[in-house]
Structure 1
């Protein structure tokens, strides 16, 4: 069986329609329909009922859904184990959403290289939902995300409770009066921040907004761990009396891991680094550290 047929089946179930599944898979709706026809021909059963609202599973589709995730996970585990370099005993695949690669994912990779030198590493950076999909499919062994929705077969562990803090650039620049809003894809700070004017700039990537403030000036809410170095150097300062917001990060991993001891060891390192990242910053509000 072509594993892409199974992936397409799961994409339709998750999206609720052939059209949205095609968008997620970045293929045409015709290709999605053709894959499902092939899968239905192989199983000799109809899997979906299509209607104006999207697509719903038949009884045969419900039965196949019980096995489809395991098929994808088994394939991915087999593919990764076969691809282990001869000089390494195993492959560990990790991933994080964009806002978490620096510094958390970077520091974790360095820790893994020091403590697991005989393990080949693969690192991926995706949107949160894609990270969860990849963990569910067995492509990524451990993922780090902010918005972690529970799924069958996945373990979700609170990693750290980061804080979003309001900072401003200390250098005079063209954007010194700008309020920079980061669109984080959820309701948190989706409107104006307390005491702030309408945003002069909206970005959907935290590092881009932070880089703008460092160069041009302005204010914005960012993760405390990402602004620590700039608070210490004096390039940023905390805005006095501005409220902070909790922004928890989670580790997500598959209960059916092919190498539980390796995953457990990697998680121990991740927890240690997360504790270090979550330690309070030594800075005075409104001034240099």
Structure 2
């Protein structure tokens, strides 16, 4: 069974549209339709019904859906497992927010190369929800993220606590409220933010990624709440300034990793390096070592 046919099936099932599936797969709609027909011929069952509201799964399609997802995940994991470069014993896959590269990721790569030179490293980029799914499916080994999602078999551990501060571009002369981007750091932050700025009109622009907020402040001469660890260099260079007397919020940074890893020795070395790097990140950058009592299997 062609896994590309399965991918097309999963996309159509998720979006209820051959057109959307073709766009996401960067294929012609006729190609997606041909793949679905081929899959239906192999299975001897119709998988979709087309009606005015779009495309819906038949009973056979609904039965086949979890099998298709499982086969596709297994295939992807198999590809990852055999992708270890020649001369290395195993592969460790890691993802973290891009702005932590200088403080965490790059020094951690040096740590691993010095202590486990026989381990190949793959640095991934993904959104938090995708990263958790990839961890659970064995496609990632370690993830650093802000908003953990409880999942069986995954351990969450507080790596550190970052300060989130209100900054504005140094060239912004008007009040910061006139060009303010609201950063969505989760429900707890939104509640605290609304309490602190009860009379504020809801900003027209919002975002949930540090990179987007940082680039917006720099390019649009705007203001936003951003992690101090992400803006400390810009503050030191005079590109940004902190808003005096603005509340400072605390934002935990979490490590996530499998409860039962395939190679526990390699994972232990990798986690030890990340913990030491976080511990060495001094308080003058707004980064303090967190309470590590939350390392519970699938619970926060």
| TM-score normalised to structure 1 length | 0.69
Match of 1:262 among 262, 266, 285: 266
Structure-2 residue corresponding to 1:93: 93
**Mapped partners of 1:253, 1:56: distance in 2:** 36
SS in 2 for 1:281: helix
Match of 2:229 among 200, 225, 229: 225
Structure-2 residue corresponding to 1:287: none
Structure-2 residue corresponding to 1:166: 166
Does 2:251 correspond to 1:240?
no
SS in 2 for 1:221: strand
CA apart distance, 1:222: 0.7
Structure with the larger RCO, 1 or 2 (CA within 8 Å, 6+ apart) = 2
Contact 1:45 1:60 in 2 (8 A): yes
SS in 2 for 1:241: coil
**Mapped partners of 2:133, 2:23: distance in 1:** 15
**What does 1:26-175 align with in structure 2 at a 5 Å threshold?**
26-52=26-52, 55-98=55-98, 100-101=100-101, 103-132=103-132, 134-135=134-135, 138-150=138-150, 155=154, 157-160=156-159, 161-168=161-168, 171=170, 173=171, 175=172
**Mapped partners of 1:70, 1:57: distance in 2:** 18
SS in 2 for 1:225: helix
Per-residue displacement from partner, 1:26-79 (whole Å, max 9, x unpaired)?
444444333333233323333344555555544444443444444233323332
Structure-2 residue corresponding to 1:286: none
CA apart distance, 1:114: 2.9
CA apart distance, 1:19: 4.7
Contact 2:229 2:285 in 1 (8 A): no
**Mapped partners of 1:50, 1:255: distance in 2:** 43
> Cα 1:55–1:212, aligned 2, differ >3 Å: closer, same or farther?
closer
SS in 2 for 1:111: helix
CA apart distance, 1:166: 0.9
CA apart distance, 1:108: 3.2
> Cα 1:24–1:223, aligned 2, differ >3 Å: closer, same or farther?
farther
Contact 1:90 1:119 in 2 (8 A): yes
Contact 2:228 2:285 in 1 (8 A): no
**Mapped partners of 1:84, 1:208: distance in 2:** 33
**Mapped partners of 1:17, 1:56: distance in 2:** 9
Larger displacement relative to structure 2 (267-276 or 73-82): 267-276
Contact 2:168 2:221 in 1 (8 A): yes
SS in 1 for 2:45: coil
Contact 1:155 1:254 in 2 (8 A): yes
CA apart distance, 1:276: 4.8
Could you tell me which runs of 5 or more consecutive residues in structure 2 were left unpaired when the two chains were aligned: 287-300
Structure-1 residue corresponding to 2:284: 281
SS in 1 for 2:271: helix
